[in-house]
Amino acid sequence: MTVKKCKDCGYEVGTDRKTGKWWCSKCSELKEDYDIKYRIAVVGKNTGKERGFNNFAKCLAREWKFAGHDVIEVHPDVVAENVPIYGMEDAYRFKKPIDLRLVEYRFDPDFIFLEQTYNRYDTSNVKCPVIYQHREYTHFPDVEYPDMLFGSYPFRIHFFEQYNPWGYHLCKYREDNFVAVYPPFFPPNKKKVLKGISYMGWGAPPEHFIDANGIVAKMVIEDQINFMEECRKVGVNFIRGEKGLNHYKEMLGSMEAVIIDGGFMNVFGRTMFEAMAMETLCIVRVHHHYSKKYFKKIGLTEDMCYFVESPDDVAKILDEWRLDDNIASANKQYKVKKAYEWVMERHTYEVRARETLEMIEAFMNGETKTPYFMGYAKRLKMEIKDGIMEIEQT
């Protein structure tokens, strides 16, 4: 169902039977010129709650609201409250698929945008399109038969395909839908009191991620920890991460330069875009040739950051800065300026919301015709050698 609202009073308008033009019953007059707007149900881990303001789904929902769309944030608990009505208590309790018709029936959206949660959903009887935002590489898909699959982190989709080949086949169409930055949360006006290069640790102990995600996470996080420890030896500041958005912003904005190690699976993440928005220079780690492909895809170049593959590369940058501070300072300022302009132009959530809607519209209009899935799952041979993760795709 398409929603149009009066530009004068905000009341929902309908079609006048005599003229066929848009009519506002509150203003009691015809309204001719309106942009098409959507009613969107957004279901995610933090939607519908006063928390998780920097969450991907909430950021998209916020920007869609700013653009005038009718956005309903639905928390999974709200869906669960309706489960007994349909006699589906066991489905919720035992993580069996919950029928998403509950959301469709209650809110009548044009489409449902479902960020990965820890419930499972069945879309087989839902008439409106269901767009699935997948973010965890080791989990089974939390939605059965989605119409379209979005991936936030570049390389995780390879693992999704490897771990869950049949689940991957259920996703008919796939598009990249990368994370971004919400500039009002990350203003570029902090004084850079943490000089040199810094590295921000995790807000939670690494063991938490290892326990939650198994052997692959163990390899990835051990690789990052080893890289971090070697960087500390060459003079990089280690900043212990703390939970909470405010502390994270305070630290990130105070750094002169920060190492961005997205990890083997992520390649990059929000921290890179958020650092650039706060005019903090990024030292971006390159893990493998796939990283370079995705950096090229999003338009990241050496005039916006430093690319490094090893702690030795980090040491060389620090040595160059010590040798000639004037040249180094000019070079750093140039990169920071270019990165800031690039992020503001191409990687804010305002841009991402528009891109996301364009991809969804292309799908709904039948313009997306070629599935992105690649047949059987690709097999990846992975091992750690001297603290460096190596992969071979077969």
pLDDT given for residue 52 in this prediction: 84
Nearest to 266 by CA among 226, 223, 317: 223
Which of 176, 205, 222 is a domain's end point? 176
- How far apart, in Å, are the Cα atoms of 3 and each of 16, 22, 58, 134, 370? 15, 11, 21, 28, 30
- Does position 269 have pLDDT exceeding 70, yes or no? yes
Q: Could you give phi then psi for residue 168, rounded to 5 degrees? A: -65, -35
Residue 374 lies in a domain: no
pLDDT given for residue 37 in this prediction: 79
Number of domains in the chain: 2
206/165 same-domain check: no
Higher pLDDT, 246 or 163: 246
Which of 313, 328, 347 is a domain's end point? 347
Residues 142-200 pLDDT 10s = 677 788 888 888 777 666 666 666 666 667 788 889 999 999 999 998 899 999 999 98
In this structure, of 3-17, 35-49, 313-327, 348-362, the range with the lowest mean pLDDT score is 3-17
Is the dihedral angle over the CA atoms 99, 103, 108, 113 positive or is it negative? Answer: negative
Higher pLDDT, 266 or 130: 130
Helices (H), 112-269: 156-163, 165-170, 206-233, 245-254, 263-266
pLDDT given for residue 86 in this prediction: 46
Mean pLDDT of 380-386: 57
200/314 same-domain check: yes
pLDDT-derived band at 63, boundaries 50, 70, 90: very high
95/215 same-domain check: no
CATH number at residue 109: 3.40.50
pLDDT given for residue 307 in this prediction: 96
pLDDT given for residue 300 in this prediction: 96
pLDDT given for residue 91 in this prediction: 47
Residue 389 lies in a domain: no
Apex 106 CA angle, 353 and 117, nearest 5: 55
As a whole number of angstroms, the distance between CA 161 and CA 168 comes to 6
Residue 292 lies in a domain: yes
Report the chain's mean pLDDT, rounded to a whole number. Answer: 81
In three-state secondary structure terms, 134 is strand
Mean pLDDT of 317-337: 90
239/116 same-domain check: no
Mean pLDDT of 237-251: 85
pLDDT given for residue 374 in this prediction: 46
Residue 380 lies in a domain: no
Residue 90 lies in a domain: yes
CB 272 within 8 A of CB 306: no
Range of the domain at 160: 36-176
pLDDT given for residue 119 in this prediction: 73
Per the document, the length of the chain is 394
Which of 176, 207, 233 is a domain's end point? 176
In this structure, of 146-155, 292-301, 357-366, 369-378, the range with the lowest mean pLDDT score is 369-378
Q: What is the CA radius of gyration of the chain?
A: 23
76/191 same-domain check: no
- Does position 376 have pLDDT exceeding 50, yes or no? no
pLDDT-derived band at 231, boundaries 50, 70, 90: very high
The continuous run of DSSP H or E covering 74 comes out as: strand 70-74
In this structure, of 47-51, 95-99, 324-328, 349-353, the range with the lowest mean pLDDT score is 95-99
Residue 164 lies in a domain: yes
Higher pLDDT, 211 or 117: 117
At 142, list the tokens.
């939390």
Residue 2 lies in a domain: no
Residue 25: Cβ within 10 Å count? 12
149/46 same-domain check: yes
Which of 153-157, 224-228, 240-244 is most confident? 224-228
* The overall pTM is greater than 0.75: yes
- How far apart, in Å, are the Cα atoms of 141 and each of 58, 136, 174, 271? 20, 9, 13, 25
- Does position 16 have pLDDT exceeding 80, yes or no? no
Which of 17-26, 328-337, 366-375 is most confident? 328-337
CATH number at residue 326: 3.40.50.2000
Residue 391 lies in a domain: no
The one-letter amino acid at 22: W
